């Protein structure tokens, strides 16, 4: 972790495609004001093809750290000279830290999700039979932390079965982690925790999900927020989920973890979360 001159303005960014909608610049600006740290944080649109060059230019211009979002998280891991435990286990990076002339990669998504669910929403995740929908960068980011939080069996389903198999292999706990196909959903029984971690709803294409998946105490969580989360949350409420939670809290908490890695101090998050929740209240409560 690098300690910086508090008088210097540090450069940070979030890379993704699309990324203009990202709330990360607003969140990090609020954190910086709270802790009196001067920084510049911008959104940089980069596709898989342009990301390596864009990141190199950012580093050459003095970039000290960055966040990475869809669809670049697995690619970011490959561009790092070193990886933290969570990033290594998941094969996905959402936080880049400039280190020894290269990039060190971390993944704060999972810690952010677990902190939001347990501390903000008061959920006990222990021994919850869990369904993870998706096997891309977002799913890879949260799976290790869910296992570490003590969930029970984890079933991973994905449109491309090979990706579900690959994530299960990466997690390395065959006794607890079970890759399955979307076609298997109706036969999997009830779950206590269902996490939707695909980008499908960005294209209005939520997979067909049987209502029989929802157990009596089920919490349904979408790692997305805003309009993108509405289809899954609406399905969850219709199916009788006890809790239906979007990814806004996770977004704020993972950002605070990234901020801590860059600056050595973790900001308070409640005020930032409350402000964003008010902004998105009409959307995330829609049926």
Was domain 10-108+249-284 assigned CATH 2.160.10.10? no
The verdict on whether 4 is a catalytic residue reads: no
**Start-end ranges of CATH 3.40.50.720 in the chain?**
110-246
Instruction: Please answer whether residues 150 and 126 qualify as being in contact, where contact means their C-beta atoms are separated by less than 8 angstroms.
Output: yes
pLDDT at 201 over 70: no
Backbone angles phi, psi at 91, to 5 degrees: 75, 20
pLDDT at 73: 95
- Residue 195: predicted pLDDT: 98
Q: Region 225-246: what's the mean pLDDT?
A: 95
Average of pLDDT values for 237-260? Answer: 98
Half-sphere exposure of 269 (CA within 13 A, CB side): 22
Q: Could you tell me which of 246, 247, 231, 240 has the C-alpha nearest to residue 287?
A: 231
Binding region for shikimate:
22-24, 69, 94, 109, 225, 254
Q: What pLDDT was estimated at residue 286?
A: 43
- Which of 11, 37, 71, 73 does the annotation list as catalytic? 73
Strand partners, 98: 103
Using the predicted structure, report yes or no on whether residue 207 has a pLDDT greater than 90.
Answer: no
Binding residues: 22-24, 69, 85, 94, 109, 134-138, 158-163, 223, 225, 247, 254
At residue 6, does pLDDT exceed 60? no
At 280 the pLDDT is 73
pLDDT tens string 53-96:
999 999 999 999 999 998 999 999 999 999 999 999 989 999 99
Percent of the chain past pLDDT 90, that is, above it, reads: 86
Whether the predicted pLDDT of 238 surpasses 80:
yes
Q: Mean per-residue pLDDT for 152-180? A: 95
Domain 110-246 has CATH 3.40.47.10: no
Residues of the chain with CATH 3.40.50.10860: 10-108+249-284
Q: How large a percentage of the chain has pLDDT more than 70?
A: 93
A 10 A CB-CB count for 179 gives 23
Q: Which residue has the higher pLDDT, 164 or 280?
A: 164
Per the CB < 8 A criterion, the answer to whether 154 and 128 are in contact is no
* DSSP result, 60-124: HTTEEEEEE-TT-HHHHHHT-SEE-HHHHHHT--SEEEEETTEEEEE--HHHHHHHIIIIIS---
For residue 47, the tally of other CB atoms under 10 A from its CB is: 13
Q: Decide if 83 contacts 115 (C-beta within 8 A).
A: no
Strand positions, DSSP E, the chain: 10-16, 39-45, 63-68, 82-83, 95-99, 102-106, 130-133, 154-158, 177-181, 191-196, 214-222, 243-245
Single pTM value for the model = 0.92
> DSSP label at 121?
S
Q: Which of 275, 183, 283 is nearest to 233 (CA)?
A: 283
The alpha carbon dihedral of 103, 109, 110, 116 has a sign of positive
């Amino acid at each position: 972790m690098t300690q910086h001159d508090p008088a210097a303005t540090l450069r940070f960014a979030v890379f993704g495609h699309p990324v203009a909608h990202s709330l990360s610049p607003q969140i990090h600006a609020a954190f910086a004001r709270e802790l009196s740290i001067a920084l510049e944080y911008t959104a940089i649109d980069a596709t898989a093809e342009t990301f390596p060059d864009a990141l190199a230019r950012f580093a050459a211009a003095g970039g000290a750290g960055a966040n990475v979002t869809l669809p670049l998280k697995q690619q970011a891991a490959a561009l790092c000279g070193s990886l933290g435990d969570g990033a290594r286990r998941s094969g996905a990076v959402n936080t880049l830290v400039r280190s020894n002339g290269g990039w060190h990669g971390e993944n704060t998504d999972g810690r952010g999700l677990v902190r939001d669910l347990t501390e903000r929403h008061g959920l006990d995740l222990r021994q919850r039979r869990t369904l993870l929908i998706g096997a891309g960068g977002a799913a890879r980011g949260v799976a290790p932390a869910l296992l570490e939080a003590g969930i029970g069996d984890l079933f991973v389903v994905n449109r491309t079965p090979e990706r579900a198999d690959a994530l299960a292999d990466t997690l390395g706990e065959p006794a607890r982690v079970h890759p399955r196909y979307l076609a298997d959903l109706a036969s999997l029984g009830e779950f206590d925790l269902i996490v939707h971690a695909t980008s499908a709803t960005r294209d209005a294409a939520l997979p067909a999900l049987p209502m029989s998946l929802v157990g009596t105490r089920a919490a349904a969580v979408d790692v997305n927020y805003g309009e993108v989360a509405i289809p899954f949350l609406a399905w969850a409420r219709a199916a009788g989920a006890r809790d239906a939670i979007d990814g806004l809290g996770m977004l704020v908490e993972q950002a605070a973890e990234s901020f801590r890695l860059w600056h050595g101090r973790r900001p308070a998050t409640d005020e930032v979360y409350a402000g964003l929740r008010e902004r998105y209240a009409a959307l995330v409560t829609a049926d």
